[in-house]
């Protein structure tokens, strides 16, 4: 954690909708060091994907306003033109998309999709790019890459396609990779393969990874730090160890408890989080989680808790009634 | 992992393709073929039915129908191919750009195009052609081409809008592809099936439109033959020599039908491939 590769400061992404302003990302600040893996977890609709796209400088829809600051290796992303962003896309920051079924062009040979990037961004010649593309396909574990170079996406399985997507994203050795639920569309054994591959490549290519997921199992062993998001805000962040073993925010606990465990006897009922994610158009004055929280008091409903430190370095949470440190009995 | 075999296109498809190619070749090489001059009037054989000398008979001025149909196809083919070339060259790039950029550019352009669509194209073409004397083949082509732009724009914009929203376009963008590159490498190949089938159907529609204009006397001036003006002239002698209407009509119908059929088959054929993806 030497240099800070990514600095996000007070980032807001607000969508103007017919029902009013919708704060999808609501004042998020964090930093990410070099060669670090950060996990961002939260339920569907907690703003994870919007956050990733905002960091990337992509706007899903035109009526979004973004304020705050995102600096990737020193270059500001918020408020810059597409031409400026093009300078960091691919070489500084890259994104691995959710669904490998839709993130490859169905009518272009996969090799071409990999070496396209190399030719645009690195200015490689046709032959060099092809050679490098085949190397990349081999690196991501595609068998007989020379043959697969000529294949169309429809001729590959989901896991293989995601490997190709990773190869395209990593083609120009970006320093930061945003992986937005990279394994959602894949079955469990393939998920593990893809995540291990990402890990391996991270070490090999010396890059930082932001792993966005709703699956705590995914982040548990692979990240050094975790951010827990709820309703567009960070509700807890800290080292993976702290978040898993010493969480203070009831939401984090609820999230952890709702993950099924292999060690449970069969027919154990799954623990759920009661209620529904909040309507972002009609947020309460207080803590967004209060309506679903069993510890909620009047204060929780009326005043919004800010992030506060726990004393352990880097571990912060936003809650009026934090759980007592569970480190001792864990 | 061999690619699956695609559904065959069927014999009828290839018959239609052959028919269109034959028509085009005949039109191009008409002057070199051993045909009777389409303007030569043989007064010894006026309104004769099909015979060995005049395979499809002669008209009321003793002109050979077969020859006139073949020379007449030049008009239909020139106008339809030319008009569609104009419509596609303007309509396709603008609509693709609009679908990618969105925003104000798209809004203004789409509003203008849709207002043009509100006019019935045939009325618009008729009114322009009535006043723009003297009529010539290129004028007809240009007018029909211009009035076809909004149609092409609407179809292609919708198609590329669907592609532009796909994740692989975003993926290409964040991997450094410029708009031009995205249009040419990502969107264009994905709308090609629609482009091709719409082009064929468009050509067929213009052949019919030219026929209608010629029938109204608004296309190329007689005595130069065209399918439409042949039918128009033959109308007056319908009771004496029905062949005069029948043969050019058959030529017109077969040509349009073949194009439509090819376009339709291609679209189905490509759709099957799409589903797999």
Closest Cα in chain B, distance from residue A202 (Å): 19
Minimal CA–CA distance to A271: which of A281, A286, A261? A261
pLDDT value, residue B57: 72
Contact A108 B185 (CB under 8 A): yes
Question: Between β-strands A233-239 and A225-230, what pairing exists: parallel, antiparallel or unpaired?
Answer: antiparallel
Contact A168 B186 (CB under 8 A): no
A287-308 pLDDT, tens digit per residue, is 888 888 888 888 888 888 888 8
Q: Which residues of chain B does A115 touch, with a Cβ-Cβ cutoff of 8 Å?
A: none
Contact A155 B176 (CB under 8 A): no
Share of chain A above pLDDT 70, in %: 96
pLDDT value, residue B271: 64
A8-30 pLDDT, tens digit per residue, is 888 888 888 888 888 888 888 88
**pLDDT tens, residue order, chain B (277 aa):** 444 555 677 888 899 899 989 888 888 887 777 777 777 777 776 767 677 676 777 777 777 888 888 888 888 888 889 999 999 999 999 999 888 888 888 889 899 998 888 888 788 888 888 888 777 888 888 888 988 899 899 989 988 888 888 888 888 888 878 888 888 888 888 888 888 888 888 888 888 888 888 888 777 777 778 888 888 887 887 777 778 888 888 888 898 899 888 888 887 777 644 444 4
Contact A102 B168 (CB under 8 A): yes
Contact A97 B170 (CB under 8 A): yes
Quick check: A1 pLDDT over 50?
no
Q: Which residues of chain B does A171 touch, with a Cβ-Cβ cutoff of 8 Å?
A: 175
pLDDT value, residue A60: 56
Q: Which residues of chain A does B159 touch, with a Cβ-Cβ cutoff of 8 Å?
A: none
A103-147 pLDDT, tens digit per residue, is 888 888 888 888 888 888 888 888 888 888 888 888 888 888 888
Of A99, A108, A155, Cβ closest to residue B3? A155
Quick check: A234 pLDDT over 80?
yes
Q: Which residues of chain A does B181 touch, with a Cβ-Cβ cutoff of 8 Å?
A: 120
Q: How confident is the model at residue A261 (pLDDT cuts 50, 70, 90)?
A: confident
Domains of chain B with bracketed CATH? 56-276 (1.10.3720.10)
Contact A106 B277 (CB under 8 A): yes
Quick check: A212 pLDDT over 60?
yes
Query: Which range, A166-175, A317-326, B50-59, has the best average confidence (pLDDT)?
Result: A166-175
Residue with the larger pLDDT of the pair A256 and B89: B89
pLDDT value, residue B276: 45
Contact A90 B1 (CB under 8 A): no
pLDDT value, residue A327: 47
Closest Cα in chain B, distance from residue A95 (Å): 7
């Amino acid at each position: 954690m030497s240099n800070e590769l990514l600095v996000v400061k007070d980032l807001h992404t607000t969508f103007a909708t017919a029902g009013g302003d919708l704060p999808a990302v609501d004042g998020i600040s964090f930093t990410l060091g070099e060669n670090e893996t950060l996990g961002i977890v939260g339920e569907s609709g907690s703003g994870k994907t919007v956050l990733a796209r905002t960091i990337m400088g992509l706007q899903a829809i035109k009526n979004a306003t973004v304020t705050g600051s995102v600096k990737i290796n020193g270059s500001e992303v918020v408020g810059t033109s597409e031409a400026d962003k093009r300078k960091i896309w691919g070489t500084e920051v890259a994104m691995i998309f959710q669904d490998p079924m839709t993130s490859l062009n169905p009518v272009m040979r996969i090799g071409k999709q990999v070496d396209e990037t190399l030719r645009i961004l690195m200015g490689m010649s046709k032959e060099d790019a092809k050679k490098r593309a085949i190397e990349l396909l081999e690196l991501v574990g595609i068998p007989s890459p020379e043959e697969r170079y000529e294949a169309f996406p429809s001729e590959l399985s989901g896991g293989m396609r995601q490997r190709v997507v990773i190869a395209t994203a990593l083609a120009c050795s970006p320093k930061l990779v945003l992986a937005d639920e990279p394994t959602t569309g894949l079955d469990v054994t393939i998920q593990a393969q893809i995540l291990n591959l990402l890990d391996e490549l991270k070490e090999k290519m010396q890059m930082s990874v932001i792993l966005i997921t709703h699956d705590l199992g995914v982040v548990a062993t692979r990240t050094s730090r975790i951010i827990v998001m709820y309703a567009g805000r960070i509700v807890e962040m800290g080292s993976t160890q702290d978040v898993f073993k010493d969480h203070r925010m009831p939401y984090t606990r609820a999230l952890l408890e709702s993950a099924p465990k292999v060690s449970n006897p069969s027919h154990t009922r799954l623990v759920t989080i009661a209620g529904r994610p909040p309507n972002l158009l009609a947020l309460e004055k207080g803590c967004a989680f209060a309506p679903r929280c069993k510890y909620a008091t009047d204060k929780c409903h009326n005043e919004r808790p800010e992030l506060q430190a726990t004393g352990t370095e880097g571990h912060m949470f936003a809650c009026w009634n934090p759980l007592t440190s569970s480190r001792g009995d864990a | 992992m061999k690619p699956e075999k695609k559904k065959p296109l069927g014999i009828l498809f290839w018959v239609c393709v052959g028919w269109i190619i034959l028509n085009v070749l005949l039109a191009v090489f008409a002057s070199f073929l051993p045909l009777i001059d389409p303007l030569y009037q043989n007064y010894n054989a006026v309104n004769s039915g099909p015979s060995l000398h005049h395979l499809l008979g002669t008209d009321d001025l003793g002109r050979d129908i077969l020859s006139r149909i073949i020379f007449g196809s030049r008009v239909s083919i020139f106008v339809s191919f030319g008009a569609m070339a104009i419509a596609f060259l303007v309509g396709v790039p603008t609509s693709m750009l609009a679908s990618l950029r969105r925003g104000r550019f798209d809004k203004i352009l789409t509003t203008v195009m849709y207002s043009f669509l509100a006019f019935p194209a045939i009325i618009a073409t008729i009114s322009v052609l009535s006043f723009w004397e003297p009529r010539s083949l290129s004028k007809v082509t240009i007018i029909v081409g211009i009035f076809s732009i909004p149609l092409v724009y609407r179809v292609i914009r919708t198609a590329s809008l669907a592609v532009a929203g796909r994740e692989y376009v975003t993926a290409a963008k964040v991997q450094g592809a410029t708009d031009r590159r995205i249009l040419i490498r990502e969107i264009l190949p994905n709308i090609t099936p629609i482009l091709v089938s719409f082009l064929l159907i468009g050509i067929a529609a213009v052949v019919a439109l030219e026929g209608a204009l010629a029938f109204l006397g608004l296309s190329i001036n007689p005595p130069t033959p065209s399918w439409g003006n042949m039918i128009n002239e033959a109308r007056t002698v319908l009771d004496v020599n029905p062949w005069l209407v029948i043969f050019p009509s058959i030529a017109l119908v077969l040509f349009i039908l073949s194009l439509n059929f090819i376009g339709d088959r291609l679209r189905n054929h490509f759709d099957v491939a799409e589903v797999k993806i």
